[in-house]
Structure 1
Amino acid sequence: MTTMRTTHGAGSARARRWAGLLAAVAAAALMAGCESMPKSGGLGGLGSALSAVTGGGSGGGTKFDGVLDVVQGASAAFKDYTAEEQRQLGVEFSSVLLGARPLLRNELVQRYVNQVGWWVAQQADLPTGKDGKPLQFAWRFGVIDSDAVNAYATPGGFVFVTVGLMRQLKSESELAGVLAHEVAHVVRGHYLAAIKKGGFAQMAGGVVQARAGNAAISSAMVNAVRNIYQKGLDQGDEFDADRMGMLYAARAGYAPAGLPNVLKMYAANSAQDANYNLLFSTHPAPADRIAKLTPLLGEKFAGAQGTGNEARYMEIRRQLR
Structure 2
Amino acid sequence: MNTRAAALGFLILLTSCAVNPATGEREFMLVSESQEISMGREADPSVTQSYGLVDDPELQAYVSDLGTRLAEASERPQLPWSFKVVDDPIVNAFALPGGFIYVTRGILAHFESEAELAGVLGHEIGHVTARHSASQMSRQQIQQIGVGVGMIVSEGFRQYGGVAVAGLQLLNLSYSRGDESEADRLGLRYIARLGYDADAMIGVFEMLGQASGGRAGSLPEWQMTHPLPENREAAMREEIAATGVSRDGTVRRDEYLDMIDGIVFGDNPRAGYFEGPRFLHPELAFELTFPTGWQTVNQRAIVAAIAPAEDAVVMLSVSEEGEDPGTAIRTFLGGSGVQGGPVSESASDGIEVARADFEATTEDGTLAGEVAFIRYGELTYRMVGYSTPSRWPGYAPSVEATISSFARVTDPDVLGVQPLRL
TM superposition score category, shorter chain reference: 0.5 to 0.7
Q: Could you tell me how far 1:267 is from its partner in structure 2?
A: 1.0
Q: Which residue matches 2:82?
A: 140
Q: Which residue matches 1:266?
A: 208
Q: Which residue matches 2:114?
A: 172
% identical equivalent positions:
27
Tell me if structure 2 keeps the 8 A contact 1:150–1:165: yes
Tell me if structure 2 keeps the 8 A contact 1:230–1:282: no
Residues 184 and 255 of structure 1: CA distance in aligned 2, closer, same or farther (over 3 Å): same
Q: Which runs of 5+ in 1 are unaligned?
A: 1-58, 61-68, 127-134, 203-213
Q: Map 1:151-190; keep pairs closer than 5 Å.
A: 151-190=93-132
Q: Could you tell me how far 1:303 is from its partner in structure 2?
A: 4.4
Q: Could you tell me how far 1:114 is from its partner in structure 2?
A: 0.6
Tell me if structure 2 keeps the 8 A contact 1:171–1:313: yes
Distance 1:163 1:136 in 2: 27
Distance 1:287 1:82 in 2: 34
Tell me if structure 2 keeps the 8 A contact 1:89–1:156: yes
User: How many residue pairs are counted as aligned between the two chains?
Assistant: 231
Residues 310 and 275 of structure 1: CA distance in aligned 2, closer, same or farther (over 3 Å): farther
Q: Which residue matches 2:223?
A: 280
1:195 counterpart (134, 137, 149): 137
Distance 2:39 2:240 in 1: 35
Amino acid at match of 1:111: A
Distance 2:133 2:84 in 1: 18
Q: Secondary structure at the match of 1:143?
A: strand
Q: Deviations over 1:72-130 (max 9, x none)?
A: 246x53x74143x322211233244334311111100000001111111111123xxxx
Q: Which residue matches 1:297?
A: 240
Q: Secondary structure at the match of 2:224?
A: helix
Distance 2:207 2:222 in 1: 13
Distance 2:181 2:216 in 1: 24
Q: Could you tell me how far 1:223 is from its partner in structure 2?
A: 6.1
Q: Could you tell me how far 1:138 is from its partner in structure 2?
A: 1.0
Q: Could you tell me how far 1:187 is from its partner in structure 2?
A: 0.8
1:109 counterpart (52, 59, 73): 59
Distance 1:186 1:201 in 2: 22
Amino acid at match of 1:176: A
Q: Which residue matches 1:91?
A: 41
Which deviates the most, 279-288 or 183-192?
Answer: 279-288
Q: Which residue matches 1:253?
A: 195
Q: Could you tell me how far 1:277 is from its partner in structure 2?
A: 3.6
Distance 1:192 1:111 in 2: 28
Amino acid at match of 1:72: E
Amino acid at match of 1:137: L
Q: Map 1:63-82; keep pairs closer than 5 Å.
A: 71-73=24-26, 77=29, 80-82=31-33
RMSD: 3.2
Q: Could you tell me how far 1:260 is from its partner in structure 2?
A: 1.8
Amino acid at match of 2:181: F
Residues 91 and 274 of structure 1: CA distance in aligned 2, closer, same or farther (over 3 Å): farther
Which deviates the most, 268-277 or 246-255?
Answer: 268-277
Q: Deviations over 1:236-276 (max 9, x none)?
A: 10000001111100101111111221011111223579995
Q: Deviations over 1:271-292 (max 9, x none)?
A: 5799954223222211121121
Q: Could you tell me how far 1:227 is from its partner in structure 2?
A: 5.2
Amino acid at match of 1:177: G
Amino acid at match of 1:98: T
Q: Deviations over 1:152-183 (max 9, x none)?
A: 11111111100000000010000111101111
Distance 2:63 2:100 in 1: 12
Distance 2:177 2:169 in 1: 16
Distance 2:111 2:229 in 1: 16
2:71 counterpart (112, 115, 121): 121
When you count strand as a share of all residues, which structure comes out higher?
Answer: 2
Tell me if structure 1 keeps the 8 A contact 2:39–2:167: no
Amino acid at match of 1:89: M
Q: Which residue matches 1:100?
A: 50
Q: Map 1:17-96; keep pairs closer than 5 Å.
A: 71-73=24-26, 77=29, 80-83=31-34, 85-96=35-46
Give the number of the structure whose alpha-carbon radius of gyration is greater: 2
Q: Secondary structure at the match of 1:168?
A: coil
1:314 counterpart (248, 257, 262): 257
Residues 308 and 277 of structure 1: CA distance in aligned 2, closer, same or farther (over 3 Å): closer
When you count helix as a share of all residues, which structure comes out higher?
Answer: 1
Distance 1:247 1:226 in 2: 29
Q: Secondary structure at the match of 1:198?
A: helix
Give the number of the structure with larger relative contact order, counting CA–CA contacts within 8 Å between residues 6 or more apart.
1
Distance 2:222 2:239 in 1: 24
